[in-house]
Amino acid sequence: MFEVALNFRRYGDAGRDVLVLHGLFGSAKNWHTQASSLAGEFHVLAVDLRNHGASPHSPRIDYPSMAADVLALMDSQGIEQASILGHSMGGKVAMQIAMQTAARVHKLIVVDIAPKRYPPHHDDVLDAMQALDFGVHRTRQALDKALSERIPDAGLRQFIMTNLVRDAKTGAFTWQLNLPAIAADYVRLAAAPEGEPFDGATLFIKGAASDYIHADDRKIIETMFPRARAKVIANAGHWPHAEKPRAFAKVVADFLRSD
């Protein structure tokens, strides 16, 4: 295992440290609104996980490796302990950190993911992204149309397209994230985080319309996170921070402020 030096965005310069970890196909910039809302009270680092955003690419992507990256970032910034908020894949990274290095985590916030293995459910998205011909489709409109044949959900498509950047040499669009590594190691991303139960303050946030956390996940959550509490965001799916930003921000801030 080797660590990569993660890219991050800093919000605020005072208060307790808070790290924000995005989900699969996401990046730190997706969390600008939420990070900004916390910056008045907290020192926030919104992180690009390996193979995502502007962080370095690596041939391997799994939870122990991503946890090591985040801990190395904390070390480089002189952060001994932080509250960590993670969404989806980032939630599993956050849980991995808490379960293997509990002393580094003040509070844990897990957004719409459970500490379990999930069946593959991004195959269509990965196939669509890998099949995109940047030589043929050279505008965002053309790329959107091409992706729509396999990704009919416009919201999901726009989220995926936040990863498009221009190649400095050719001027053509390309994927900023490391798509080959993500596709090759996808089975590792479906896995559960591993380690010892985390006895620190923990909040699980679920979108009411999301099916990522089920009632029968309660047992494993209570076993691995005995102090966990839960909040459900009404009228939200898997991205409650984007779909109901005010309600989400209040839930997060209230938890971080609590004793």
Provide the residue count of the chain: 259
Q: Which of 52, 87, 238, 241 is catalytic?
A: 238
CA distance 186 to 120: 8
CA distance 72 to 69: 5
Question: Edge to edge, what strands does the sheet with 43-47 contain?
Answer: 8-11, 43-47, 17-21, 82-87, 105-111, 201-207, 228-233
The residues, any chain, with a CB within 8 Å of residue 173's CB and separated by 6 or more, are 134, 137, 138, 140, 143, 164, 165, 166, 167
Q: Which of 27, 65, 83, 88 is catalytic?
A: 88
Q: Is 37 a catalytic residue?
A: no
Please state, as a whole number, how many other Cβ atoms lie within 10 Å of the Cβ of residue 13: 8
Q: Is 238 a catalytic residue?
A: yes
CA distance 230 to 113: 12
| Residue 12, token pair as written in the block | 């605020």
State the distance between the two ends of the chain, measured CA to CA, in whole angstroms.
36
Catalytic residues: 88, 238
